Amino acid sequence: MNDEKMTPEEIQLARALRLGVISQQHRVGNITEAQARELLRGPLTPGDNSTIIDDSNQLITDESIERAAYERGFREGAEQMRNVFWEEAMRLNWSPSATARIKTMPLPEPQP
């Protein structure tokens, strides 16, 4: 074991590389999802349990890609609807305070 500690930048890079390599190996079918998650729960430095960081929830799967695409589409659609509503309020000469509230109203969150 090496007594030198990793810098925060090295840790971030090691985690990103580990996630990328393991996700790719899972995507091409070289390892199962369970194996990938097990590897992502292990240490960044093999054999050094002081470097264990659990990144198993970050595994890139078809399901996580589909979920991200759904959430992005949902947000974009909600923003478009809010803009249409605002334009209609402007066309109808609603009060400035009402039209300002439309522009700042929170968007709904996608449901699981």
Per-residue pLDDT, 1: 47
CA–CA gap between residue 86 and residue 76 (Å, rounded): 15
User: What is the full per-residue pLDDT of the chain (112 aa) written as tens digits?
Assistant: 456 788 889 889 989 999 989 988 988 899 998 999 999 999 988 888 888 999 998 887 777 777 777 888 888 888 888 889 889 889 899 888 888 888 888 877 777 6
Per-residue pLDDT, 112: 65
CA–CA gap between residue 25 and residue 29 (Å, rounded): 6
Collect all residues with Cβ–Cβ distance below 8 Å to 50 and sequence separation of at least 6.
Answer: 43
Q: Hey, what amino acid is at 7?
A: T
